[in-house]
Amino acid sequence: MFIRLVPIVLLVFAFTSGYTLQKEEWSVSSPDKKINVVVSRSGTRLSYAVAYENRSALESSPLGIVRDDHQFSENLKFVSKTETTLDEAYTLTVGRRLQCRNHARELTLVFENEKKEKVHIIFRAYNDGIAYRYHFPGNDKAVHKITHEESGFAIPKNAVAWIQPYDMNVRKKPCYEAFYENGIAVGGQSPNSAGWAFPALFNVNNLWILITEAALDEHYPGTHLEDKDNNAIYTIRFPEKEEVTSDADPEPVSTLPWTTPWRAAVIGNALATVQETSLVTNLNPPAVIKDVSWIKPGRSSWSWWSAGSTTRDFDVQKAYIDFTADMTWEYTLIDAGWPEMKGGSMEELIQYARSKNVGIVLWYHSGMGREKDTLSYANLMAFPETRKKEFQKLQQWGVKGIKVDFFDSDKQPVIQRYYDILRDAAEYKIMVNFHGSTLPRGWERTYPHLVSMESVKGAEGAGRQEFCDRAPVHNTILPFTRNVVGSMDYTPVTFTNKREAKRQTTAAHELALAVVFESGIFHFADNMKSYQELPDEPKDFLRKVPSTWDETRYIAGTPGKYIVVARRKGSAWYIAGINAQTGEQEISLELSFIQKDKSLRIITDGTEPGTFATQIIKTNGKKITVKIPAKGGFVLY
């Protein structure tokens, strides 16, 4: 890895009493000069605006932050600026691109308020976006509170949005599990009183903009968005009053020095920029784990989706291990209820799995809101001593990972719990998947054993007809929104109907989700019989498809309509597409990036519902035309 920080210029301005109110501006541009950020002070307030090739991406947007002891939102005096270049390479263990480059120009502006207290406002301009955050210098051990953040994103009012209502956390119904609004006008009121969730996608001035949050640490809660005046200025909103940690304040607290999370926006003139970006992980600290050889992402079977109570049945789980080994998948997840297993012990099951070269992943409750319960596996994660003792036991057993569920809040104590679990799991070499969780903020760069997070309305909702009816559109929005910011544990590729709900997506649509979606641990949710009865071609595809990728390319598509994506693992390319529309979508694929005269297998929907059709094609330098039926899909590999 190489790291280069080059100081460019340092200007320091001294001030006497009083200061001018005339407009002042400071700017920073991306390395390729296409993105330009201008920070302005006009009157008593600070703002910023962003342009891409002279087209407005973010209009004049508010800046400022207020602590319980000092305000840093108006009447700030400019003190100094520093501009640097960042250029570093790093490697991820999960994601759509494992080799990444963090290349940006950084501008740090120092201001002071009327009481001579300083705040740093730090901007970065990347070739594919921008980000900014605040830093309070000093060494004050007193605990301070941020009471308000002015930060916002002013979207041009002629924009179209794909944006998710922020769904209130309640027990067993975490947020980030609402459907996205599909291509609505900006400035409208959220269906939920809590506002909107990150990430939010916009199209305006022939630009695509995805706004989100990154590098959230223990010194801040997870935030979301509100448009107070319905004028398309989306500002930061702290967590809501929730059932979990109801006694904790929604506002962040910390000693000094103190740095806030990044407010970030991916910006480009094509959807490829959004889908292929590494901006969120770029903004996070480097890995704290040096030896990552034990971190092995992979595919997993999972019995809970089809028959939850089987987690307590030794013989059923043993059969799932046999099935997993036959599919050459790396893991099987044993969900809630496993401590009450009948017919054999967990230790025996793990030993059997080891003989089949299958790793075991076990479910746990986060313990949030369960701290006063009788000690059980539902709150072992809540207490440092019991958590470490449990991890030590899992390591001795040979368990490879845990799925930790039900966090149920974005407040700061909950964010601290995520970090506690990640640190202790790393010590005992246990991989982690967060379920019922907050949104990814790029933690997988710092903690590479974090292999996935849920924070999505996924296939667990497929037992409801509303989900099945909306799934085709939902599935084409997620690759441009939720899945951009991190691995997504949607638990897809379900061919059977769950309960009385009738699936609307075709068989090939479901198969294609194994490539269209990305997750470091990829849970195939359907019952094993469903996969065992597949024709040879789709079954062979599911045996081969990777869960991490060396390269991802946007090929075609529009959120809410259709998507085609290409992903590479080594020298092997996997291309998949899905259609959300009620009519057929024809795609012309230009495959010059694939070796000429290479034989590829394409799996599409068959003529009868629930069937597949397979064809061998040759790449000969010419374009390939694929017709995706209504709500259908295809895979090409």
Among 489, 508, 540, the domain-final residue is: 540
Q: Is residue 403 part of a domain?
A: yes
Q: Can you give the CATH number for the domain in which 244 is found?
A: 2.70.98.10
**pLDDT, tens digit (0-9, with 9 covering 90-100), for 241-295:** 877 888 899 999 999 999 999 999 999 999 999 999 999 999 999 999 999 999 9
**pLDDT, tens digit (0-9, with 9 covering 90-100), for 514-527:** 999 999 999 999 99
Could you give phi then psi for residue 345, rounded to 5 degrees? -95, 160
How large a percentage of the chain has pLDDT more than 90?
Answer: 91
Same domain, 313 and 459: yes
Same domain, 159 and 305: no
Q: What confidence score (pLDDT) does residue 11 get?
A: 36
Distance CA 246, CA 277 (A): 36
pTM for the complete prediction?
Answer: 0.95
What are the tokens at 562? 């259709």
Inter-residue contact 542 to 532 (CB < 8 Å): no
Mean predicted confidence (pLDDT) in 128-156: 97
Residue 620 pLDDT level (bands cut at 50, 70, 90): confident
What are the tokens at 320? 């799932």
**Biggest CA-to-CA distance, the chain:** 81
Q: How distant, in Å, are the alpha carbons of 41, 61, 195 from that of 235?
A: 19, 9, 10
Inter-residue contact 155 to 58 (CB < 8 Å): yes
CA 212 to the chain's CA centroid: 10
Distance CA 389, CA 394 (A): 9
**DSSP string computed for 238-287:** PPP--STTTTS-SS-EE-SSEEPPEEEEEEESSHHHHHH--HHHHTSPPP
What totals of helices (H) and strands (E) does the chain contain, helices first? Answer: 11, 37
**pLDDT, tens digit (0-9, with 9 covering 90-100), for 208-218:** 999 999 999 99
Same domain, 274 and 415: no
- Provide the domain limits for residue 145: 3-282
Mean predicted confidence (pLDDT) in 89-96: 98
The four Cα atoms 374, 375, 379, 384 give a dihedral, to 10 degrees, of: 130
Q: Is residue 552 part of a domain?
A: no
- What is the C-alpha end-to-end distance of the chain, expressed in Å? 32
Q: What confidence score (pLDDT) does residue 21 get?
A: 55
Rounded (10°) angle between helices 384-397 and 346-355: 40
**What stretch of H or E contains 588?**
strand 585-589
Inter-residue contact 515 to 564 (CB < 8 Å): no
Same domain, 371 and 451: yes
Same domain, 245 and 358: no
**pLDDT, tens digit (0-9, with 9 covering 90-100), for 415-471:** 999 999 999 999 999 999 999 999 999 999 999 999 999 999 999 999 999 999 999
Residue 16 pLDDT level (bands cut at 50, 70, 90): very low
What are the tokens at 24? 């002042």
Distance CA 353, CA 344 (A): 13
Q: Is residue 607 part of a domain?
A: no
Same domain, 274 and 307: no
Same domain, 278 and 302: no
Inter-residue contact 614 to 537 (CB < 8 Å): yes
Residues making up the chain, counted from first to last? 637
Q: What confidence score (pLDDT) does residue 177 get?
A: 94
Same domain, 320 and 257: no
Same domain, 270 and 330: no
What are the tokens at 281? 């992980």
Q: What confidence score (pLDDT) does residue 79 get?
A: 98
Q: What confidence score (pLDDT) does residue 23 get?
A: 86
Q: What confidence score (pLDDT) does residue 577 get?
A: 98
Total domain count for the chain?
2
Among 282, 317, 341, the domain-final residue is: 282
Q: Which amino acid is at 115?
A: K
Whole-number average pLDDT of the chain = 95
Residue 168 pLDDT level (bands cut at 50, 70, 90): confident
Mean predicted confidence (pLDDT) in 363-379: 94
Residue 115 pLDDT level (bands cut at 50, 70, 90): very high
Distance CA 242, CA 251 (A): 13
Give the closest residue to 282 by CA, choosing from 209, 212, 218: 212
Inter-residue contact 628 to 579 (CB < 8 Å): yes
| Beta bridge partner(s), residue 197 | 164
The four Cα atoms 467, 470, 473, 474 give a dihedral, to 10 degrees, of: -30
Mean predicted confidence (pLDDT) in 131-140: 97
- Tracing tokens 């010059």 back to the chain, one arrives at 592
Secondary structure class of 220 (helix, strand, coil)? coil
- pLDDT higher than threshold 80 for residue 561: yes
Q: What confidence score (pLDDT) does residue 622 get?
A: 80
Inter-residue contact 39 to 46 (CB < 8 Å): yes
What are the tokens at 21? 């109110």
Q: What confidence score (pLDDT) does residue 310 get?
A: 94
Distance CA 35, CA 125 (A): 7
- Determine whether 581 is exposed, middle or buried from the number of CB atoms within 10 Å of its CB (0-12, 13-18, 19+): middle
Q: Is residue 346 part of a domain?
A: yes
User: Which pairs count as long-range contacts for 387-390, CB under 8 Å and 24+ apart, including other chains?
Assistant: 387/420, 387/421, 387/424, 388/424, 388/427, 388/428, 390/364
- pLDDT higher than threshold 70 for residue 146: yes
Q: Is residue 302 part of a domain?
A: yes
Residue 174 pLDDT level (bands cut at 50, 70, 90): low
Q: Is residue 620 part of a domain?
A: no
Whether a cis peptide bond, with omega within 30° of 0, leads into 559 is: no
Same domain, 306 and 276: no
Same domain, 43 and 164: yes
What are the tokens at 164? 């998710």
Give 488's DSSP letter: B
Q: Can you give the CATH number for the domain in which 339 is found?
A: 3.20.20.70
Q: What confidence score (pLDDT) does residue 171 get?
A: 65
**Beta pairing, strands 181-185 & 160-165:** antiparallel
- Sheet containing 65-67: give its strands across: 71-72, 65-67, 144-149, 253-254
Give 526-562 as a 3 state SS string.
CCHHHHHCCCHHHHHHHHHCCCCCCEEEEEEEECCCE
Q: What confidence score (pLDDT) does residue 175 get?
A: 78
**What stretch of H or E contains 208?**
strand 207-214
Between 4-8, 436-440, 605-609, the lowest mean confidence (pLDDT) is in 4-8
Inter-residue contact 330 to 298 (CB < 8 Å): yes
Among 501, 517, 540, the domain-final residue is: 540
Q: What is the CA radius of gyration of the chain?
A: 25
Between 21-30, 364-373, 539-548, the lowest mean confidence (pLDDT) is in 21-30
Rounded (10°) angle between helices 314-326 and 346-355: 20
Q: Is residue 547 part of a domain?
A: no
Give the closest residue to 429 by CA, choosing from 541, 296, 594, 595: 296
Q: What confidence score (pLDDT) does residue 538 get?
A: 98
Same domain, 271 and 325: no
